[in-house]
Amino acid sequence: MVWYALVSTFLCTLFLPLLLFLTAVKLWEMYVNSGRDHSCGSPLPPGTMGLPFLGETLQMVLQRKKFLRMKRQKYGYIYKTHLFGSPTVRVMGAENVRRILLAEHRLVAVKWPVSVRTILGSDALSNVHGPQHRNKRKTIMKAFSHEALEYYIPVVQEEVRRALRRWMRGGSCVLVYAETRRLMFRIAMRVLLGFEPEQIRRDEHELVDAFEEMIKNLFSLPIDVPFSGLYRGLRARNFIHAKIEENIKKKLQQHADDDRKPKDALQLLIENSRRNEEGLRIQEVKEFATELLFGGHETTASAATSLVMFLGLHLDALRNVREELRQKELLGSYPEERTLTVRVLEQLKYCGCVVKETLRLNCPVPGGFRVALSTFELNGYQIPKGWNVIYSICDTHEVADVFFNKKEFLPERFMASAPEDSQRFNYIPFGGGPRRCVGKEFAKVLLKIFLVELATKCNWTLLNGAPTMKTGPTVYPVDNLPTKFSNYFDKEVIHTE
């Protein structure tokens, strides 16, 4: 009897968990299949849904590029998966992405994961819909008008020059990604949120650390308990909100508006809220400002880091940049007093191509999230109502046949007078449709200024060569791109070691 009891205990210990696991898997498969809309004749896209309840979120977060490449190779340009707690269809390719981006409010609507919506807030531009989205977008576009961009340029130049002088000082190693994040953060705080330089210098380290903590936990499990990712992200967000609220109250005390200069985005939003029938809602303004700060510095820091990397690896492209600057009389002396203008920047065609090619290969934002409002068909497959849809920017760039030698860094590909339609939706670094990046023109101006100042002031050497790139949530080098900078005017040759 003792042996019988021991064997029974052993079998229960071994097989009961296995039986429960297999049952859970079967129930999971039934749940997944129940999502299919039987009124639609098309099948679900191919793919797998991963582990019960967890789906494939962990594999995607931990393996990212390897995971996504394997999925694309196995299932093609449209496949199903289960991410961030929801059944999801991932979409790439110009025509497929075009359908998604132009179907806003008809077939799909924006829907970021719960953690993103919770941290950024329900009133953030990326989370609102319909008239509320259109009105907010219209308001903020005033902050990126031609006149406003002209006003921002001297501030951007001042901050970039100060940063480059620091990078060149002493010939020490500079972690470019960490430094560009701080640089772009200062620029965004000044030109988008209207912070004074003294405020930024006083709170910079605390604000940057808080913002990095918030971004790190933006995509996390939706569990708000002490020490969880969402909990840490919300604590960091609250600290940022407190600092932004201080600035809002300061702006509210300014009774006389100064119409002699363009207003920053935060000021425009405050004035727009004042005109609303509901009156000023401080929480709404704080959420919008936080999102603006994320979009205005995190993505540009990623792109600026990639510019340093690509030009450090492709010295012929850097020579071409400098030749164009020399022809425009922007190189040849140390033009510290020279201020750029939007018109001058628009004339720098090759520099513009370098920025475009950088965004093609290393697009800062890899994609976007939508949810199906009703069941619809896409390239022979059904997308069931309620399923999430992720459109991939990075994969769409990778598979676009309109670009020759797609893996090569070739800025001159954008010099060709190809029809605009041939690149439409094959090249979408700023998204498309009614939710196209509101700060697109500001980002292009900012990156061109950074490129001009970098090429006219510095020589640099990448100490580790080409780095491994990672996404979280924007694209960045895992080693922070350690680089040695020197003064271009000390020795007018490009480092080749």
Euclidean distance between CA atoms 455 and 264, whole angstroms:
29
User: Residue 419: what pLDDT?
Assistant: 47
pLDDT per residue over 90-116, tens digit each?
999 999 999 999 998 899 998 888 888
Q: Percent of the chain at pLDDT above 70?
A: 85
Is 420 within the bounds of a domain? yes
Q: What is the DSSP string of 216-278?
A: HTSS--S--STTSHHHHHHHHHHHHHHHHHHHHHHHHT--S--TTSPPPHHHHHHHHHHHSTT
| pLDDT beyond 70 at 33 | no
Residues 35-80: pLDDT tens digits? 677 788 899 999 999 888 788 988 887 888 888 889 999 999 999 9
pLDDT in tens, 415-448: 876 545 556 899 999 999 888 988 899 999 999 9
Tell me whether residue 41 is in a domain: no
Please give the pLDDT value at position 211. 86
DSSP 20-35: HHHHHHHHHHHHHHHT
Q: How many domains does the chain have?
A: 1
Judged on CB neighbours under 10 Å (0-12, 13-18, 19+), 223 is: exposed
Q: Is the peptide bond before 335 cis (omega within 30 degrees of 0)?
A: no
For residues 405-409, give the mean pLDDT.
94
Rounded Cα–Cα distance for residues 239 and 49 (Å): 37
Provide CB contacts within 8 A for 489, sequence distance 6+: 334
Distance CA(99)–CA(108), nearest Å, equals 10
In a domain, 131, yes or no: yes
**φ/ψ bin of 130: left (φ > 0), alpha (ψ from -120 to 50), beta (otherwise):** left
21 falls within a domain = no
This prediction has a pTM of 0.86
Assess if residue 35 is contained within a domain. no
How far apart CA 66 and CA 316 sit, in angstroms, is 31
**Cβ 448 vs Cβ 352: under 8 Å:** yes
CA 128 to chain centre: 18
pLDDT digits (tens, 9 = 90+) for 122-156: 878 888 888 888 888 887 888 888 888 998 999 99
The DSSP element (H or E) to which 475 belongs, if any, is strand 475-477
User: Which one-letter DSSP state was computed for residue 296?
Assistant: I
The per-residue pLDDT of the chain, averaged, comes to: 85
Q: At what angle do helices 265-275 and 282-293 cross, to 10 degrees?
A: 150
Question: Alpha helix (H) ranges present in 169-196?
Answer: 176-191
Q: Domain holding 156: CATH number?
A: 1.10.630.10
Has residue 64 been placed in a domain?
yes
Indicate the pLDDT class of residue 301, thresholds 50, 70 and 90. very high
Residue range(s) defining the domain that contains residue 387: 46-487
493 pLDDT band, cuts 50/70/90, is very low
Q: Are 395 and 72 in contact (CB under 8 A)?
A: yes
In a domain, 289, yes or no: yes
Over residues 172-179, the mean pLDDT reads 93
What confidence category does residue 490 fall into, taking pLDDT thresholds of 50, 70 and 90? low
Residue 494 pLDDT? 43
Tokens of 458: 């510095």
